[in-house]
Structure 1
């Protein structure tokens, strides 16, 4: 068992709202909290807190409070911060929904989470309304932030002028958010994260990452994802930095926003690093303001990190975490430029880890020099989830009786506490930082009348990024090609979940118990990588 080389973090027994905004000084109120990267409109900390309080009051006036779940389907716009923190300030629980989800996927999350109110924006209203109708959320409970006929708007709620309510709950027990994750396998599950979980992880990041109040942080990674929610939306606001929001990634707009608003910190996922390292447009852009590029959500290759650092003349770091850990457990700190860029760095304060042999269950020995043998990474700390919503079996598989969370990732560790992720026990595919569950895609594929059997694994594309590949057994006599398979799956899933490659095979390898032998498919792929 190992712990962080840094002193333990102080984790106050406060709600997320009180921790982030309760200590705002008079001088902070006029500081810019959020810049809309599209329009340039600014929101000060004073304005943001005022809007949060008003929204909490409007929700409370409608009977929303402790015990209620409110869904949010919204891209990165300044109003997201008002809605998200207004929900938490009212004592309710926020369940954030992937902006790329289909109506079916949205409805599944609304049902599982038990959401009774729903916030969205007009561009996403068609899928939001379809999902709301399926689960019985009425139009007057479906708030369209920028306005739509027949629905309340954010302006409507704020203009009512209701005072924020008095709320009381135990931060260590009360759920702040219910993001959805596939965990180690299978369909998405609601991850129960308490106020203490989120407060702890922000406090741990304050002691580790190095953001300052003078920094401008580019917020292109989605707030609905735990990485954007904690590291951008919450951590940056706690540091009194300025967030510059982008509703989606577009390279030209990304480069323009960095240059125009002089972003100093750019949080990314590895696919953006590929563009920063290789795309010719980067050479024409003014990125001189960038001090740090910080990668997360999927492993960043060390050589790619070095290319970005050299091209932008900046520091490149990465961190590691999971939705189930709020999310951060490891980072490369700014004060350790000597650490290997392909590592995930050190444990955060107040975090413990074990590297456990998957066969014996014993802790892996750490040599005096070099890295240990690989083993499964286990994590324990105040940022670890309470469990999966209404799923005791999945919780027990992920979180043991001693509080250790079994990540499913295979890691090595050195004597001075530097960790590296080298493989995954779990079957999830990480496509551009998004989790893609093979089981979900396999279920869709098996719904095609011309597909007899199917299996999905992650393979690397030409840029070294993981993509979903389907191995398909066609029905006898079927006229089926790869394009038809890809198009069929695309009709049934969110864009990031689409199958990107297809190979036809005679039989899907399976164990005697019927489990797909993905290792055999990976071996086949390794033997014929171009297939």
Structure 2
């Protein structure tokens, strides 16, 4: 049990956090005090109150491609200027939804924080989405204004008022004359934002169904940023903290990491579009110390020849989320980069990205675990068939409750009711278990389990084994229809350059490490695995491809 563990009732196991009376898992972290919920407070005002004083000397923002930088004083001034200009020059007010369709750039974090500070609702979307996908998101969020670029604006409906981030008008909003901006701010009544107000509508990844709009409140973000601030480590390092964003700002992982970096006074290095080689060059050029990543990126770094050639000695920590990270991958990465700690975490868009995580090097060595529950968070493991709450070591659906849980799905009361119960429990849809020390393990998505005869096969388990093979660069496993078994495990495999692996060799490699019912029985070699911007495998695309492809192609 970690030092500083909170006082727990006698019915709660101090090792696992499990209460034998209520069947609830309690967190084993220090209690985290939060501002009273009744206190008017925006996520931005709370976050900016936590920025180190005096302001950090290093830049707040850096463009990875050009090297253009924004200092912390200029960053804060831009937020204030833009907030004032949006109210007076664009008519944006509290409660208005602002749809943002832009690649990552120096203006995007400024825009997010300015909108949040005046009580507007930020709703960012993937700029690479098809117009039909964007139309669906706009129907859900019902924005009154959009922010786009010249390259993305054509995807928006003509009726939606749109401000271009690369226009002279927006530039005037950002760089308003200091005196004029101060005078405008003095004439404006301050916006009173309630913590219960919706702060953002973020879109779920849609890996298993239609995209949903997740309404997150200022209270959700206050709780999350308070947790980040409390986790600040006193580390003596000659390098200033620099974060390279490999995850998109429109996704909950990127959104929350941006808030985290601001709260901790770090430098954010932004890439307009992710490229593995460009990422390695940026780490080297800007002496990056921290990167939020997904497991496929850890795999790529562990296997890449280019990663071995680059000077990545500045890297201290990788924050890994989005999917479980297997032991073989973690150990292979550690062998190549012994100076880099991998901190694992688990969260959902519906939980503002936060549920559990590892906090110390010792916790990070509990391989395949996503860590322990975060402060102020409770959990249950529920049998999906009987509804019975289960104890340590037993697998079931993870339910969570705490101050980071969403308000609901916008425009979808039915989906909200199916996901959030009357007591505030969020049903995650993930098959999980806690061990006897309170560490959370993600087995797979309940809806993604392969039903082979009377057995359930987790695709993620087979994927971890596949990517541990030196001749495999990436892999995904799906259910394939079978008349006798119902479903069989089918693997899509990306070979390493130069590899001549056969399907028999792949099946044999996996078959030696699993029970007979888990064996892969069908293989397709492909050039890439389709994934969401957060690195999650898009199984629906692979399933559609598998069932529609002639057998000769597989």
The answer to whether TM tops 0.5 is: yes
- The Cα RMSD (Å) is 3.3
**Aligned equivalents of 1:200 and 1:261: distance in 2?**
31
2:249 corresponds to 1:223: yes
2:64 corresponds to 1:37: yes
Match of 1:3 in 2: 26
**Aligned equivalents of 1:183 and 1:102: distance in 2?**
14
Report if the CA contact (8 A) 1:308-1:316 is conserved. Answer: no
**Aligned equivalents of 2:297 and 2:205: distance in 1?**
23
Match of 1:290 in 2: 315
The aligned runs of 1:356-367 (5 Å cut-off) are 356-366=382-392
In the superposition, relative to structure 1, how do residues 144 and 60 fare at CA in structure 2: closer, same or farther (>3 Å)?
same
Q: CA deviation at 1:211?
A: 8.7
In the superposition, relative to structure 1, how do residues 185 and 274 fare at CA in structure 2: closer, same or farther (>3 Å)?
closer
2:109 corresponds to 1:81: yes
**Aligned equivalents of 2:173 and 2:230: distance in 1?**
40
Match of 1:499 in 2: 541
Match of 2:74 in 1: 47
Report if the CA contact (8 A) 2:61-2:71 is conserved. Answer: yes
In the superposition, relative to structure 1, how do residues 268 and 29 fare at CA in structure 2: closer, same or farther (>3 Å)?
closer
Q: CA deviation at 1:156?
A: 4.9
Report if the CA contact (8 A) 1:48-1:82 is conserved. Answer: yes
The aligned runs of 1:18-417 (5 Å cut-off) are 18-24=45-51, 27-28=54-55, 30-61=57-88, 62-123=90-151, 125=152, 128-133=153-158, 136-137=159-160, 141-147=161-167, 152-156=169-173, 158-159=175-176, 161-162=180-181, 163-164=184-185, 165-181=188-204, 186-208=209-231, 210=233, 214-230=240-256, 232-313=257-338, 314-337=340-363, 339-366=365-392, 372-417=393-438
In the superposition, relative to structure 1, how do residues 53 and 411 fare at CA in structure 2: closer, same or farther (>3 Å)?
same
Match of 1:453 in 2: none
Question: Paired residues, what number?
Answer: 449
Q: CA deviation at 1:465?
A: 4.1
**Aligned equivalents of 2:94 and 2:478: distance in 1?**
40
**Structure 2 unmatched runs, 5+:** 1-23, 451-458, 467-471, 483-525
Report if the CA contact (8 A) 1:211-1:239 is conserved. Answer: no
**Aligned equivalents of 1:120 and 1:470: distance in 2?**
41
2:439 corresponds to 1:418: yes
Q: CA deviation at 1:307?
A: 1.3
Report if the CA contact (8 A) 2:50-2:263 is conserved. Answer: no
In the superposition, relative to structure 1, how do residues 186 and 130 fare at CA in structure 2: closer, same or farther (>3 Å)?
same
Report if the CA contact (8 A) 1:205-1:235 is conserved. Answer: yes
Match of 1:519 in 2: none
Q: CA deviation at 1:416?
A: 1.4
**Aligned equivalents of 1:53 and 1:7: distance in 2?**
35
Report if the CA contact (8 A) 1:34-1:245 is conserved. Answer: yes
Partner-residue secondary structure (3-state), 1:71: strand
In the superposition, relative to structure 1, how do residues 357 and 122 fare at CA in structure 2: closer, same or farther (>3 Å)?
same
Partner-residue secondary structure (3-state), 1:177: strand
Report if the CA contact (8 A) 2:298-2:333 is conserved. Answer: yes
Q: CA deviation at 1:57?
A: 0.9
In the superposition, relative to structure 1, how do residues 226 and 210 fare at CA in structure 2: closer, same or farther (>3 Å)?
farther
In the superposition, relative to structure 1, how do residues 427 and 239 fare at CA in structure 2: closer, same or farther (>3 Å)?
same
In the superposition, relative to structure 1, how do residues 184 and 260 fare at CA in structure 2: closer, same or farther (>3 Å)?
closer
**Aligned equivalents of 1:425 and 1:468: distance in 2?**
13
Bigger CA drift: 3-12 or 86-95? 3-12
Partner-residue secondary structure (3-state), 2:104: coil
Report if the CA contact (8 A) 1:33-1:43 is conserved. Answer: yes
Report if the CA contact (8 A) 1:200-1:382 is conserved. Answer: yes
Q: CA deviation at 1:360?
A: 1.9
Q: CA deviation at 1:174?
A: 0.5
In the superposition, relative to structure 1, how do residues 216 and 280 fare at CA in structure 2: closer, same or farther (>3 Å)?
same
**Aligned equivalents of 1:341 and 1:226: distance in 2?**
24
Bigger CA drift: 419-428 or 151-160? 151-160
Report if the CA contact (8 A) 2:381-2:396 is conserved. Answer: yes
**Structure 1 unmatched runs, 5+:** 367-371, 430-456, 473-485, 507-527
